[in-house]
Amino acid sequence: MADKPLDLRSRTRENVRVQIAEVAFNVFAERGFDAVTATEVAEAAGISRASFFRYFESKEDAVFVAQEELGARIAGRLRERPAGEDAWSALRQSLDPIIAVYRESPTQSLARLRLTRSTTKLRAHQLERFDQWKQLIGAALAERLGVEKVDVGIEALVAAALASLNAASSRWAASDGADDLIELIDDAFAAIAGPFPELRG
């Protein structure tokens, strides 16, 4: 928990959200997501309950602050990949924003993953977030492939890419962080592409 109230003055709104989210995560990790109320999170951050809900729509939102922009960043990275690169490789390389978060703080990434996977409400919220990612990434892939709209093929490719990421993350969590997440992601993508050499261009 926070030792003292957050100094919210002279901070941008986004910085304030990140600071409050960090406090919230620490409280959730210590006591369990379902056992903590929004009021208790607000108290730990030194703000009112009303202030908490000015920054977040729900407790779940506070957990996923770090993921809010990742879908758009992945889509942006996909648009920047070399034109001659095959779609599957481009999708893999576009996950760099997620890998950057992992590299910055593997311990916190593992703790956040454990909290999410052990909490029904958070798992549901993450699925909603992945649905948003699918739309953003699908639109970027359609542009890359010169397709006017996202068809079932593009949806399948994006879904497979995110499923590969999810499989790698699950194995990483099961290893208690001992395995290398990046290698697991590469292995998962290679496993999908193995029977389908056309995916590799």
Q: Are residues 42 and 93 in the same domain?
A: no
Range of the domain at 145: 65-200
Q: How confident is the model at residue 198 (pLDDT cuts 50, 70, 90)?
A: low
Q: How confident is the model at residue 196 (pLDDT cuts 50, 70, 90)?
A: confident
Mean pLDDT of 70-96: 94
Residue 2 pLDDT > 70, yes or no? no
Q: Are residues 33 and 121 in the same domain?
A: no
What domain count does the chain have? 2
Q: Are residues 58 and 70 in the same domain?
A: no
Which has more confidence, 12 or 57?
57
Which of 30-39's residues contact partners 24+ apart within 8 Å by CB, and which partners?
30/1, 32/119, 33/59, 33/63, 33/115, 33/119, 33/121, 33/122, 34/119, 34/121
Q: Are residues 37 and 85 in the same domain?
A: no
Q: Which of 23, 38, 62 represents a domain boundary (last residue)?
A: 62
Q: Are residues 114 and 170 in the same domain?
A: yes
Q: Are residues 101 and 46 in the same domain?
A: no
Q: Give residue 64's pLDDT.
A: 86
Residue 150 pLDDT > 90, yes or no? yes
The Cα–Cα gap between 140 and 151 comes to 12
Inter-CA distances, 192 with 67, 79, 83, 86, 161, Å: 25, 22, 22, 14, 9
> The CATH number of the domain where 38 resides is what?
1.10.10.60
Q: Are residues 48 and 76 in the same domain?
A: no
What phi, psi does 124 have (nearest 5°)?
-65, -40
Residue 199 pLDDT > 90, yes or no? no
The answer to whether residue 101 sits within a structural domain is yes
18 close to 55: Cβ distance less than 8 angstroms: no
Q: Are residues 57 and 127 in the same domain?
A: no
Percent of the chain whose pLDDT exceeds 70: 92
Q: What is the mean pLDDT of the chain?
A: 89
User: What pTM does this model have?
Assistant: 0.81
Mean pLDDT of 133-151: 94
> The CATH number of the domain where 143 resides is what?
1.10.357.10
Q: Are residues 26 and 41 in the same domain?
A: yes
Q: Got the DSSP string for 84-101?
A: TS-HHHHHHHTTHHHHHH
The answer to whether residue 168 sits within a structural domain is yes
Residue 76 pLDDT > 70, yes or no? yes
Q: How confident is the model at residue 201 (pLDDT cuts 50, 70, 90)?
A: low
Instruction: Kindly report, residue by residue over 18-51, the tens digit of the pLDDT.
Output: 899 999 999 999 999 999 999 999 999 999 999 9
Q: Which of 5, 27, 62 represents a domain boundary (last residue)?
A: 62
Q: Are residues 95 and 126 in the same domain?
A: yes
Mean pLDDT of 129-136: 92
Q: Are residues 71 and 56 in the same domain?
A: no
155 close to 145: Cβ distance less than 8 angstroms: no
Mean pLDDT of 171-177: 93
